[in-house]
Amino acid sequence: MSFRVVTEPIGPVAANCHTLEFGDQVILIDPGGDADLLLRLIGKRTLTAMLVTHGHYDHIGAIGELKERHPGAAVMIHRDERLFLSDPSLNLSCHFGIDGRYGHAPERLLDHGDRIMLPDGDTLSVIHTPGHTPGGVCFYGDGVLFSGDTLFFESIGRCDLPGGDEETLLTSIRERLLTLPDDTRVLSGHMNVTTIGHEKRHNPFLDGAV
């Protein structure tokens, strides 16, 4: 990888926040909570962007506090997920006694096939993978897939939450993720690191998918 990744389980359900390090600049994927911890990890470096795989509270919870300290950080989320940032009933925070609101418009609304420029000149591709939520996305670049809650180690994202649909999720995984190289490292929103090849062979939800 041309960038270094540090993964930290954060927030009330230990969602993985991935810090992409580029010297004195960093990008966060899914800053779901524990803003003080993330600010310590960032240190004196500049937070340039916060990329959101989907809008559930455990993936967006620290955005507001981080934005106060790093106002130049661009928040990016799929256009079908933009209302999740400000609506506790959509991001599910209201079900856990949390007021999970980020009250500002994101700087960029993402679509499938978009590319996000990184500080080192490389890019991450946006892969729209609806099923866990309508606007769920994965980010792919340099042999690494940040899969959010779409694909896990030998599992897949929940489909029983509002906006979820199992067949849609399985189609997203089959058509848009399993076509990636087998040695693609998968850094998900929860649990351990895996690879596309491992999931093809061992994920029980994808039995017969390839």
If you average pLDDT over every residue of the chain, what do you get? 94
Res 98: pLDDT:
76
- Do 151 and 188 contact (CB within 8 A), yes or no? yes
* Res. 1 pLDDT band, cuts 50 70 90: low
In the chain, where the domains are located: 4-206
Query: What are the pLDDT digits (tens) for 107-127?
Result: 999 999 999 999 999 999 999
**pTM, rounded to two decimals:** 0.95
Query: What are the pLDDT digits (tens) for 27-45?
Result: 999 999 999 999 999 999 9
Res 97: pLDDT:
74
The span from the CA of 19 to the CA of 25, in Å, is 10
Q: Which tokens belong to 63?
A: 């955005």
* CATH class of domain segment(s) 4-206: alpha beta
> If DSSP codes are grouped into helix, strand and coil, which group holds residue 191?
coil
Res 208: pLDDT:
57
